[in-house]
Structure 1
Amino acid sequence: MIRTGLRWLLALFYGVAGYVHIANPAPFLQIMPGAVPFPEAVVFWTGIAELAGAAGLLQPFSPKLRRAAGIGLALYALCVWPANMNHFVLDMARADGGLGLAYHIPRMIAQPVIIWLALWVGGTTDWPFRHRT
């Protein structure tokens, strides 16, 4: 029951994030590392990936699709981590300190948790909750 609730919550999170990436790409373009080619297309397709992952997590009768969505969203969260780190560095370098450490440190800590959560709610892992025999 907890896994199902968190699966729906994560799907909602990624669904909203996907919509925002497509509807309002400007904030994401600002934090994109300069080495990323075609940043507008990358932001658009990351939004599509988030929406597809969210839809996959919500499939009630397809554990394989939920697992694939969980793996995809975990990989996605891993791949966007450099953009989040870039945002941290650029934001903290601002004269006013940007959003500050109170925003960025929890965000950096949350990234591996989100990666694990996508794998757990997708059914790829039971760690650390496996039953011992």
Structure 2
Amino acid sequence: MRILVLCTGNSCRSQMAHGFLQSFDNTLEVCSAGTHPAGQVNPQAVATMQEIGIDISRHTPKDVKQYLNQEWDYVITVCGNAKETCPNFVGKVKHRVHIGLDDPSEVAGTSDFVTNEFRRVRNQIQERFHDFYLNIRSDKHEEI
């Protein structure tokens, strides 16, 4: 099964979702990309995932354009901007799903507050993507 997780910068939420999906099932082919990819994965996202034993430190932001001609079972957007600006795929996309999530990289405040927001969003990603994974494994194709 081929899954593409799409966000704007491909530096935080989509990278965490990518890491979770791979941790749920190593037979899934998971990629993530951005409509306007950042220069690197957000270091706080890397650290927050490392806390729970998932290593995304080798991930790099990628441009969605490199995936447009490929076939996907699922293209999942995790932010409203990516959902609205998602380009047309020339390849076949069986299912498009939107799982909207807050962007912890936009949070301002004390170091503790920012860290807690990353953890909160990480936990939300884990829960929502695990629900998604269970649904696709039981052959349900409903939006989460």
Shorter-normalised TM range: 0.3 to 0.5
Higher helix proportion (structure 1 or 2): 1
More strand by share: 2
Length-normalised TM-score, structure 1: 0.33
Larger Rg: 1
